[in-house]
Structure 1
Amino acid sequence: MTDSNTAQEAQSQQYEYRYDAFKNISPKLIYPMAVKVLPADQSFTKWKWTKNVVSLVLRLVANQAMQNVSLRKGSACRLITFIRLYRILEDPKNSSYIERLFDFIISIARALTNRFKRRPKSQDIEQDVKQNQKPDQVQARVEAMVDDIQQQSKTKDPVKHLSFEDYRNLFQIIYLPDISNHFLEDRSFAAQRVAGANPLVIMQVSELPEYFKVTEEHYTKVMGKDDSLQAALDEGRIYLADYKILDEIDPGTVEVGVNGSIKETIEKFGYAPLALFAIASGDCPGRLLTPVAIQCSQDAGSLIFTPPSIAAVDEERWAWRMAKTVVQVADGNYHELISHLGRTHLWIEPIALGTYRRLAKHKLGKLLLPHFEGTFFINNAAAGSLIAKGGVVESILSGTLLSSVTLSVKAAKGYPFAFNDSMLPKTFAARGVDDPQKLPDYPYRDDALLIWDAIHKWVKSYLEVYYSSDDEVLSDAVLQAWLAELVAEDGGQMTEIGEVIPEDRRPKIRTLDYLIDATTLIIFTCSVQHAAVNFTQASLMSFAPNMPLAGFNAAPTTLKVSEADYFSMLPSLSLAEQQMNFGYTLGSVYYTQIGQYKANEVELEEMNQHDYFGDSRISHHLEIFQNKLKEIELTIQQRNETRPTFYDILLPSKIPQSTNI
């Protein structure tokens, strides 16, 4: 056996598969994941990454202490303390503001409240990291702090008569998202289909489902009598958000406690609505999506809700708001379970594992491995906490834990698109949203395609240095072994990946074009796609009334409801607080940056000085890619000065290199 084969065998043994990561949920949930967090993936030992996480946790601790102050001591004390904290957090002249943040916020939090009987010291965490302690020890300290936050939020008494101000008041030190000022507007509701947390569902339709009986009267009531539903369908101006897949989720329950004891078990509601949108006729580039009709279930004959007229009574407005909330609950569950957990975190795991095992010393592996840094760590942490029994997914999402994670696994294995159909331009074409003339305002599409094209050119330039023909690709035994492992039953268990021909049905990488496309998809998903669905959790999903992750009352069945009916659908303040903590934390940590390659063992501060690609042929193309990303940054900033819907989620400077949070 050659030395290279021996090294490969050792690599394969180090990076092992497990298929029972969700065995505590159900032994039937089989999905390939890494047995353990790998040495090259222990990003938690890097001080800058850890510091950002801990600073967020401390903000949440102080934020909740502030809530207690506002209840006990009044708004004056809250204002004074907030101003002091604001100065620390926002002073651009303070080059070491996060270091000071540790001591400052923890002292404020301790002074304000004694509710936390067990709060780990931030100084201990800092000392652990600086002394290069084991990642498990550092992780345990942070998890304990997070647990304090969750336990406190679970002990708050449910408030029976809520207002929007109650939800806004949950934000004290951490920023109240701007969406809190606009979420009731129809314009905001429509904009979130194309620039929201989940801009991946809407599709163009030429006819409506038989069970969605929107009439001409419904349509012209919104779009005016100069237009017609049939004309809009014929001209490609009708778009549908259909959440039928969510019928597979079984509604769950959640326990709400007071002072640590269980008070009651609350039933949650999930929905599988349909929402219809239209674009006005004409050629004006500023034409926007307009919400036309909502049906709150897949059942034929269900009530159709339309936007209220100017003369509508308040009860009709509350009914329309309830219908929109049904859609938002559905979109939030689709986002977390399919677009986020399923189609990024879980989808990437077997590809990353196979790459570490088979391509660690290969030219393709050198390109891909930086895009997997931190993925095993965050996925392992999620499997043991967020998506475990008693975790956030079970608490704040609509469904039972089993049905929710089952849907995520289904997404990872190919819903709604298999690997070969997941190339970004293909997905837009398949949904009929690829034509800017028909759907002018679609910021996610426009920005994502810019970066997809840049990644594709970078990957093409890189691979063409090493491959000059399809035959060289096909004859690369290491590359073919990588694909074979990705599809193997005792490997990645992936389907519909690779190329097949009539005379050979075994999937292989047969052409350079396919290798370029596949590599582009992997890099895009690890970085851009994950950023698109992750960082909106802070800006759009942390404010629960905008996108509740569960309903707490049935969908409306009449065209007139009361304000109390509407608020009965929203989560309690304790659950809204958990959603705020969850969304703010996951949506606020930025670690690494797309295009800035580095070896895993190199510190972030040394990234720009590290020559990861030593081949001058590669470094030249990398410089072109990095400059292109800078151009895209400027293009997106210029677009945001004029386009109707502001969208800065995909600024390259805000896109991490990998799925690491």
Structure 2
Amino acid sequence: MTPQYEYRYDALKDVSPELKYPMAKEVFPADQSLTKWPWTRDLVSVVLRIIANQAMQDISVRRGSACRLITFIRLYRILENPLYQSGLERVFNAINNLVRGLSNIFGNRAQSQNIKHDVKDEQHPEKVSARISAIAKDIQETAESREAREQTSLADYRDLFQIIYLPDISNHFLEDRAFAAQRVAGANPLVINRISELPDHFQVTDQQFKAVMGDSESLQAALNDGRVYLADYQILEEIDAGTVEVKDREIPKYRYAPLALFAIASGNCPGRLLQPIAIQCHQEAGSPIFTPPSLEADKEERLAWRMAKTVVQIADGNYHELISHLGRTHLWIEPIALGTYRRLGTEHPLGKLLLPHFEGTLFINNAAANSLIAPGGTVDKILFGTLKSSVQLSVKGAKGYPFSFNDSMLPQTFASRGVDDLQKLPDYPYRDDALLIWHAIHDWVEAYLQIYYKDDDAVLKDDILQDWLAELRAEDGGQMTEIGESTPEEPEPKIRTLDYLINATTLIIFTCSAQHASVNFPQASLMTFVPNMPLAGFNEGPTAEKASEADYFSLLPPLSLAEQQLDLGYTLGSVYYTQLGYYKANDVDLDDINDHTYFKDLQVKQALRDFQQRLEEIELIIQDRNETRPTYYDILLPSKIPQSTNI
């Protein structure tokens, strides 16, 4: 037992004193990813790009395109030159000196100097954290200080990207095809459910269905065939709409809880795609229902439909950040990590297996609690709810919404949502790639645990393992009440079978690695271009069949908030540290992994190699899939999945 990892239940007290959630009382240096040079190098590189990007915006406005082009070339050469990989401090200083020389917005910043020295100072890792925090604060303040134009356009949102690459979604986000694809291969491909009947408060007509799918189709037949899918964001009604200060003025944000209906065409063609049928922007029965415009529709009808889609994207972005990302990965993992550190450690075979999957998690969660989700932080500003109600929803997600621990096994969740049938829903890249990773992890975990547990009786008699479970469930421990196995004869939850232990361990490792990757990295590719997925709306949404451009742009965040969303999404979605399947101790860099053996037990060697080979095969399978499948999806390439939730 490692008792120094103590629980703290008031880590979110600055958000609300009523929010009680088990988090680490203290984060030790061994768990602080910022003390590790490769991780810090990548993070600083991202921060530098954001600083340079903002400077380029300033230059483009004040100095003209010629100066902008010359400056871009100079910055690009510095940022892309591999010769600087071994000398980050030179890159850091060179870019900051160049930025200061070209713009007045930064001034003299002592905190940006000598960062490499601080990284190597293992006795004071807080120095690096303080420097990065100071830079992040400067970035946010700079974004807030920008003057918003009276009349914005899509070009203004595109122009926020200078050094940072404009993501491809910016070219397609207005298409219905791209809108539907994000339900199955987007930042949050976790919401659609197959339905057999419409909700009473969302009465789409057969005529509306035929207008999209064709006269040969019928809504009832599609429902009977299992070809109709619903994205229902009713849970977001638990959030209270917030406000934000823009240009010294407090402005209201709008909360949405829409319903969006999708369908698949009949037939057996594997290329059949999800198509949007109808959107209702509110849960109240009788609310206007918006459908895709016909080819003859005028611009005003198309704008109303675009606004309805944007309302769904805003809701999806909030569901993503609060439930799928913060709640169901970061917060969900923390009490499991704490219990493992305390009760198992590296002397126990399960602890030995799990601990590398928690590296950096306590640090990044603590950093988030003190910055991103703190009052006045980025989440408070750019999401649509009050901070208190938003974080309350995240805690609800961590404690079991929409699935309890025992119901969260990936194949089971797909079946529960009715999206497991490849014939009914042929194009679902997240499902197909995630299952490959899940089964590979399951096979690895099974091979590993069978070395140490020969049967169910060996599992049940492992007192250390049972103490671990008891701590995860305890009121003064992890407070995870829906984990463990019970029987009518023996209602006390325990880990009773080897199969359950294998499944539970697979779920933990999958969540730490692949599941977090699936919701984290699309933040850079899909959420930085704000018109695709704003995190707050500033109008009540469409109310009539027609809308104007002014109506549409009034819905989008001001440019200063869009820039903060860009900065957040790019930072969190760009840092890759460690790789699934390659185990190491905390003090070993990934570059040296081949010279280091983490598992000393020789029995593990072949099982681990089989796992690594399987991941290599999956890499090729996904690459081949992307050559032919209609929706490209590379988020779950094994080479792009970190071992732990560390960013």
**Same fold flag (TM > 0.5):** yes
Between the aligned partners of 2:329 and 2:220, the Cα distance in structure 1 is 38
User: Are positions 1:33 and 2:23 aligned together?
Assistant: yes
Q: Match of 2:509, as an amino acid?
A: I
Contact 1:238 1:276 in 2 (8 A): yes
Between the aligned partners of 2:487 and 2:464, the Cα distance in structure 1 is 21
- What is the CA deviation profile of residues 49-100 of structure 1, one whole-angstrom value per residue up to 9, with x for unaligned ones? 1111111111111110110100101111111221232234345677648565
Q: Which residue of 2 aligns with 1:176?
A: 166
Distance 1:16 1:440, change over 3 A: same
- What is the CA deviation profile of residues 264-304 of structure 1, one whole-angstrom value per residue up to 9, with x for unaligned ones? 00100010000000100111000000000000010001111
- What is the CA deviation profile of residues 153-197 of structure 1, one whole-angstrom value per residue up to 9, with x for unaligned ones? 111122221100000000100111111111100000000000000
Q: Which residue of 1 aligns with 2:544?
A: 558
SS of the residue 1:421 aligns to: coil
Question: TM-score, length-normalised on structure 2?
Answer: 0.98
Aligned counterpart for 2:623 among listed residues 637, 649, 653: 637
Q: Which residue of 1 aligns with 2:125?
A: 135
Q: Which residue of 1 aligns with 2:407?
A: 421
SS of the residue 2:117 aligns to: helix
Between the aligned partners of 2:36 and 2:82, the Cα distance in structure 1 is 24
- What is the CA deviation profile of residues 424-466 of structure 1, one whole-angstrom value per residue up to 9, with x for unaligned ones? 0000000000011110110000000000000000000000000
Aligned 1:246-325 pairs, distance under 5 A: 246-257=236-247, 263-325=248-310
Note the C-alpha offset of 1:601: 2.4
SS of the residue 1:508 aligns to: coil
Question: TM-score, length-normalised on structure 1?
Answer: 0.96
Distance 1:620 1:322, change over 3 A: same
SS of the residue 2:486 aligns to: strand
Between the aligned partners of 1:526 and 1:118, the Cα distance in structure 2 is 40
Q: Match of 2:555, as an amino acid?
A: M
Aligned counterpart for 1:326 among listed residues 311, 316, 338: 311
Between the aligned partners of 1:596 and 1:449, the Cα distance in structure 2 is 20
Q: Which residue of 2 aligns with 1:349?
A: 334
Between the aligned partners of 2:321 and 2:616, the Cα distance in structure 1 is 30
Contact 1:255 1:266 in 2 (8 A): yes
Q: Match of 1:524, as an amino acid?
A: F
Q: Match of 1:393, as an amino acid?
A: V
Between the aligned partners of 2:56 and 2:584, the Cα distance in structure 1 is 40
Note the C-alpha offset of 1:555: 1.5
User: Are positions 1:624 and 2:610 aligned together?
Assistant: yes
User: Are positions 1:609 and 2:595 aligned together?
Assistant: yes
Aligned 1:364-443 pairs, distance under 5 A: 364-443=350-429
Q: Name structure 2 gaps, 5 residues minimum.
A: none
Note the C-alpha offset of 1:114: 1.8
Distance 1:251 1:649, change over 3 A: same
- What is the CA deviation profile of residues 204-255 of structure 1, one whole-angstrom value per residue up to 9, with x for unaligned ones? 1000100001000110011110100000000010010000000000000001
Contact 2:89 2:114 in 1 (8 A): no
Note the C-alpha offset of 1:118: 4.9
Q: Which residue of 2 aligns with 1:524?
A: 510
User: Are positions 1:237 and 2:227 aligned together?
Assistant: yes
Note the C-alpha offset of 1:121: 5.0
Aligned counterpart for 1:146 among listed residues 131, 136, 147: 136
- Count residues in correspondence: 646
Between the aligned partners of 2:148 and 2:84, the Cα distance in structure 1 is 41
Contact 1:88 1:97 in 2 (8 A): no
Q: Match of 2:553, as an amino acid?
A: F
Q: Match of 2:375, as an amino acid?
A: K
Between the aligned partners of 2:445 and 2:420, the Cα distance in structure 1 is 23
Aligned 1:484-633 pairs, distance under 5 A: 484-633=470-619
Q: Which residue of 2 aligns with 1:4?
A: none
Between the aligned partners of 2:227 and 2:83, the Cα distance in structure 1 is 50
Deviates more, 1:50-59 or 1:452-461: 50-59
Between the aligned partners of 1:37 and 1:155, the Cα distance in structure 2 is 34
Q: Match of 2:31, as an amino acid?
A: D
SS of the residue 2:173 aligns to: coil
SS of the residue 1:501 aligns to: coil
Q: Match of 1:575, as an amino acid?
A: L
Q: Match of 1:193, as an amino acid?
A: R
Contact 2:440 2:615 in 1 (8 A): yes
Note the C-alpha offset of 1:603: 2.9
Identity %: 71
Between the aligned partners of 2:288 and 2:571, the Cα distance in structure 1 is 38
User: Are positions 1:465 and 2:451 aligned together?
Assistant: yes
Contact 1:54 1:122 in 2 (8 A): no
Q: Which residue of 2 aligns with 1:3?
A: none
Q: Name structure 1 gaps, 5 residues minimum.
A: 1-7, 258-262
Q: Which residue of 2 aligns with 1:72?
A: 62
SS of the residue 1:505 aligns to: coil
Between the aligned partners of 1:78 and 1:230, the Cα distance in structure 2 is 58
- What is the CA deviation profile of residues 614-657 of structure 1, one whole-angstrom value per residue up to 9, with x for unaligned ones? 11110110000001000000111111111101101001111000
Between the aligned partners of 1:273 and 1:225, the Cα distance in structure 2 is 27
- What is the CA deviation profile of residues 545-575 of structure 1, one whole-angstrom value per residue up to 9, with x for unaligned ones? 0000000000111010101000000000000
Deviates more, 1:354-363 or 1:85-94: 85-94
- What is the CA deviation profile of residues 311-352 of structure 1, one whole-angstrom value per residue up to 9, with x for unaligned ones? 001000000000000000000000000000000000000000
Q: Which residue of 2 aligns with 1:89?
A: 79
Q: CA RMSD in A?
A: 1.2
